[in-house]
Amino acid sequence: MPKAPQGAASARAEPRTANLALQGGGSHGAFTWGVLDALLEDGRIRFEGASGTSAGAMNAVVLAHGLARAHADGLRGQPANEAARAALARFWDGVGLLGSFAAGLPLPAAQAMASWVAQWFSPAQANPLGINPLRRLLEREVDFGLLTHGQAMKVFVTATNVRTGRGEIFSGPRLSADAVMASACLPTVFQAVRIEGEHYWDGGYSGNPAIYPLIYATRSADVILVQINPVEAPFTPGASAQEIMERVNEITFNAPLLAEFRAIEFVTRLLDEGRLDPQRYKRVLLHRVDGGAALAGFGGASKTRADPAFVRRLFELGRTAGQHWLAAHFHDLGVISSVEKMSQDSVPPPPRNVP
C-alpha cells in the first residue's frame, strides 16, 4: 500500500495550538520559510499568533494573509494550510527573482560596493526616492485590509522608534506595509520609515522578535521561536573588520530576545516555587527551531544574497530543521518547555563553501 503523505498522516492526530516568534536576518528568512512550510505540511499545529521582526515580520504577514485568504474562500484545516504554503512560496520566489537582478556582480564585488556606498553616503543620498522593490512585492502579495480584519491568526510586528529608541508593536488596524518595511529598515541601507509622525528603524534593535505580545494578547502558552541569528559563534583575536562587525550585529540583534528569555525563566521559576499567583501570571512554554548553526557557515554577509538558488538552499535547510523539530518536540507542546533540550537536537551546519 502506498505510504500516506506526511501532512495527511499527521493531520489525523489531535492538533495543538501554539504561537510563532520569527527572527529577522535578511535573506536568511528563507530558512524560516522552510520551517513554516514543514509545520504547515505536517498539519498538527494551529497558529494563534505570530510575532516577527524584519524578514520574520514578512514571513508572519504572508503566512497570516495566506490563512486569512483561505478562510475567506471557505477553506479550513489542511486545505487552508496548503494555501498558506503556496502564499509563502510565491513571496519567496518573488524575493529570489528580485535577487537575480542583483546577481550580475560577483558576490565579493557586490558586497564591497554596498559597503563603500554605506560608508560614504546616507540612505537619503544614495536613494533619495526611497525606492524599495521589496515593498512592491509585499503589497502585491498581502492585502492588509483582509489581514487586519481576518480572524485566522494575530500578527505582531516590531519596529524601533528612532526618537525614543524603544520598540513598538504594530498589530490589528495599525498593521500595514509601512510597519513591515519599518521593521526591516536597516538605517545604513534604507531611509527611516515615517508612521503617524514618528520615524522607525529595524525592529531587531529592540525585539528580534518581541515575545511579550504573545504572552499578553494570546491564550496559548506555547511559543515556537525560529531563530536564525546564532547565539554562540567562534571568534579569534585576529578576526577581520568584517568578521568583527558581523559578530557585533549578531550580538546586538540577539540581546533583546535573550533578555526576554531571562525574564520568562525568572517568572517560571517563581511560579514553580509558588511565589506568584498562577491566575495572574502566565506560564510560558518555550520551544526553538535553531537555525543559527545551520546558517553560520554562510557568513553574515550572505544575508544580502537573495538569488534563487541560495533562497532555495535556505528553504531546504529550514524544511529539514522543521521536520527534525516536529519529530523531536511536537509532543512537548502544552506539556513542557523544550528549549533546554535543543542543544542536543541541533541541525548539522552545511559546508562552508556554498555553490
CA–CA gap between residue 236 and residue 98 (Å, rounded): 35
What is the predicted pLDDT for the residue at 346?
42
Amino acid at 303: K
Ranges in the chain, pLDDT < 50: 1-11, 103-131, 341-355
In the structure grid, which three cell numbers stand for residue 51, read together? 510575532
What is the predicted pLDDT for the residue at 43?
97
What is the full DSSP assignment across 138-153? HHHH--HHHHHH--S-
Task: Report which DSSP code applies to 233.
Answer: -
The answer to whether residues 197 and 214 touch, using CB atoms and an 8 Å cutoff, is no
What is the predicted pLDDT for the residue at 12?
53
What is the predicted pLDDT for the residue at 297?
81
CA–CA gap between residue 109 and residue 260 (Å, rounded): 38
What is the predicted pLDDT for the residue at 13?
64
What is the predicted pLDDT for the residue at 118?
42
What is the predicted pLDDT for the residue at 305?
87
The answer to whether residues 291 and 314 touch, using CB atoms and an 8 Å cutoff, is no
The answer to whether residues 180 and 57 touch, using CB atoms and an 8 Å cutoff, is yes
Q: What is the number of other CB atoms lying within 10 angstroms of the CB of residue 344?
A: 7
CA–CA gap between residue 183 and residue 160 (Å, rounded): 7
What is the predicted pLDDT for the residue at 293?
79
Beta strand 285-290 with 222-227 is: parallel
What is the predicted pLDDT for the residue at 106?
46
